[in-house]
Amino acid sequence: MAAIPGLHSMASLRSAEQIQLLDLVDSLRAEGLSEFTALPQLIVCGDQSSGKSSLLEAISGVPFPRKDNLCTRFATEVILRRASVSEIRVSLVPGKGRSSVDQDRLWQFRYEVTSLEDFNTLFEQAKDAMGLLSIGGNAFTEDILRVEISGPTQPQLTIVDLPGLIHSHNKHQTEHDVELVTNLVAKYMANPRSIILAVVSAKNDFPNQIVLKRAREVDPQGLRTLGVITKPDQLVRGSDGEKIFLSLARNEQVEFNLGWHVVRNLDSGDKDQDRDVVETQFLAESNFRSLPATHLGIAHLRQRLSIVLFEQIKAELPRLIEDIDTNITICRHGLDKLGPARAGLDEQKNFLVDLSDNFQSLCDAATKGDYEHPFFAKQSQFDRRLAAMIANRGVEFEEEIRMDGAQWKIVEGASKRTSHRTRTEAVEEVCELLKKSRGRELPGLPNPLLVGELFREYSQPWEGLARRYIEDVWNITKSFVEQALQYLTDATVSDALLRYLLDPLMDQRLVLANTKLEELMAVHKEHPETRNHYFTDRYNTLQRNQTEAKTTHILQEAFVRRPSMTAGDIPRLVAMLRQDTEADMDLIAAESTFNAMEAFYEVAMKLFVDNVPNLVVRAIIASRLPSMFCPKSVFAMDPELVKDIASETEDKRLRRQEINDKLKALEAGNNLCKQYALRVTSVLPILKRARSFDSLTSTSSIVSVKEEEETPAGEESD
């Protein structure tokens, strides 16, 4: 359709110095990047009836509703697009809370705009479709009116008009309405790349206008906020109120880094008047003329916005490029996880072969402690480093056996704990056991089988500690398998692989590991046998230590009775040692048995804490992990199993298409940024001139938000 009379082109807001950089952002918008990452933009926000809609109309040329008794009850997106043919398309975007029936109905809404007057009727028709005019209907809605204006002179730009911020609920506006509007506006303010235009009406005391509070919440230092004072004609000339707003305009009351600006828009009663003429005359005659001329009027506001947006884009461009690169990486990884399209059996099997090859490589690296793969990069996800996790649990297992592996612990003094014994108490218990185990042995010698019986009782905790260790390693390994699959493929394939293949195999590994542990424990439940010379060394040491302890005790008592001994006392000392020789043959045998058991326990313990990690954990659980799902296992799969695991739903195909579309847009945006980088040398003189206010004429990309701003990624254009 032809251009609408009265709808001015925003191309006039673009100066030659800005074209290269601002066109870059416009091109990024045209590629759809605003759906995936936040682009630098200008947003307009303010309280109800603060004059936002009139301001937006003055800036953009689009006639928003602006009657005093008419507040905006839904978001309106005006999307300006550059195209060879002029066209206006109108549609409704239903809110997330709408039923499927309402969504279908609203999506079908259409309205033809041929003149500026049609916009007034358009807003009424949209209200009716949204149910805002019906009795008992909501006062506000999350539905969006979308007006797409295309033409050869239009920039790539979205302007959003939002409901005004509400101070409190009343009979027309409920608490739900207050919350809805607050949340709706807040999501547009979330973008830290947005420049905030905080609109303040001179009709009300500015401290009471919550837009300033909201601006401070998202921009505490006022670095990206420009204040705009509207309705200055409502102030009594020379009054205290006028003086306060003059002070505010001078950046003295509420300080913003970007300062303040004063505009005088037409009121609803100012019909058939030229807006710019009325504004110019008022500002020339009012006390606001004392302010710098560049801070007055809509024309200068466009110029200031141009500079602000230009500088914001320059500052944010490096981070924007980083965001694009990050999103490209995420998209490519997402496509890798989804894998290629696979409708037939051959495609499904090829997909599983590639996936199994990657899984095998990842498991092989994990079990060998090679953590170069990006999968292991995050330090916060230490549980992905399988070899380290298993090794650390092995160290804990060894410590548990050493500290808690004995049924009772030998202590120096008496203890109330049932698991503690003094050495004397332990030997006495062995002596009682010896009497119950008498066979054909000679006096003073123990039954040969007694050492084994005593060892089995003493080492009872081993099996429980070992089973817990094996189960912990099994859980660690199982968790790693799940994380590896979730990293390599999507949730559907990952879940199917676990359910049909890997979980059953892991369960088998646990059974095999416990069976192997039973074999190891069976050896220790038989008669003790060892060829380790450490047993003899340790047994002799224990016997010698016992003899030396008794000798030391006798000599100490002798020297206490007679401190000044001489060489003549030696015969008497020898006699004392002879008299102390143990006459109880059973006690002698019990001491020897206990020492033999202790010596063998230490030998067996060293063997046990080596065998369980190596012959059970490593050999059965960890080392076999890469072969559980490998290309060879895929070729051996039943076709039905391949189908159950690798087939894909329509949702997944649509998801792949969505990611491909997003990746295409991101890569196109990345190429545009690279092209701009190649031209940066030629742009440098322009950037220097851009710092001069007079060299810039006006804005090229104003995204206005009636209240609280910011067009979030994904909602600026569809």
One-letter-per-residue 3-state SS of 166-194:
CCCCCCCCCHHHHHHHHHHHHHCECCCCE
Mean pLDDT (whole number) for 209-236: 90
Q: What is the per-residue pLDDT for 88? A: 82
Amino acid identity, position 126 = A
Q: What is the per-residue pLDDT for 30? A: 61
Task: Supply angle C-alpha 593, 595, 601, rounded to 5.
Answer: 100
Average pLDDT taken over every residue of the chain = 79
User: Tokens 């006798």 correspond to what residue?
Assistant: 554
Half-sphere exposure of 230 (CA within 13 A, CB side): 24
| 64, 53 contact by CB (below 8 A) | yes
Residue 496: partners with Cβ closer than 8 Å, 6 or more residues away: 644, 645, 646
pLDDT band at 515 (very low <50, low <70, confident <90, very high): very high
Instruction: Give 502's DSSP letter.
Output: I
Cα separation values, 510 from 460, 505, 608, 620, Å: 22, 9, 19, 8
Query: For residue 161, what are the β-bridge partners?
Result: 76
pLDDT band at 330 (very low <50, low <70, confident <90, very high): confident
Residue 401 has pLDDT above 90, yes or no: yes
- Strand 87-93 with 75-82, pairing: unpaired
Query: What are the pLDDT digits (tens) for 403-454?
Result: 999 888 877 777 667 678 878 888 888 888 877 777 777 666 677 788 888 8
Residue 664 to residue 675: CA distance in whole angstroms: 16
Give SS3 for 145: strand
Residue 355 to residue 339: CA distance in whole angstroms: 9
CB-based burial of residue 595 (10 Å sphere; 0-12 exposed, 13-18 middle, 19+ buried)?
buried
Cα separation values, 310 from 42, 419, 698, Å: 11, 78, 10
Residue 79: partners with Cβ closer than 8 Å, 6 or more residues away: 146, 147, 148, 149, 157, 158, 159, 717
Report which of residues 265 and 579 the model is more confident about: 265
**Number of CB atoms found within 10 A of residue 308's CB:** 20
Cα separation values, 707 from 48, 465, 624, Å: 8, 64, 61
| Residues 626-656: b if buried by 16+ CB within 10 A, e if exposed | bebbbbebbeebeeeebebbbbbeeebeebb
Amino acid identity, position 204 = N
Residue 702 to residue 26: CA distance in whole angstroms: 11
First CA to last CA distance, the chain: 21
The tokens describing 174, both together, are: 């409920």
pTM over 0.85: no
Mean pLDDT (whole number) for 27-48: 71
pLDDT band at 380 (very low <50, low <70, confident <90, very high): low
Percent with pLDDT over 70 in the chain: 79
Query: Does an H or E element contain 676, and which?
Result: helix 650-678
Query: What are the pLDDT digits (tens) for 275-289?
Result: 889 999 999 999 999
Task: Supply angle C-alpha 657, 673, 315, rounded to 5.
Answer: 120
Q: What is the per-residue pLDDT for 70? A: 45
pLDDT band at 714 (very low <50, low <70, confident <90, very high): very low
Half-sphere exposure of 10 (CA within 13 A, CB side): 32
Query: What are the pLDDT digits (tens) for 131-165?
Result: 875 545 566 787 888 888 777 766 555 667 777 66
Amino acid identity, position 549 = A
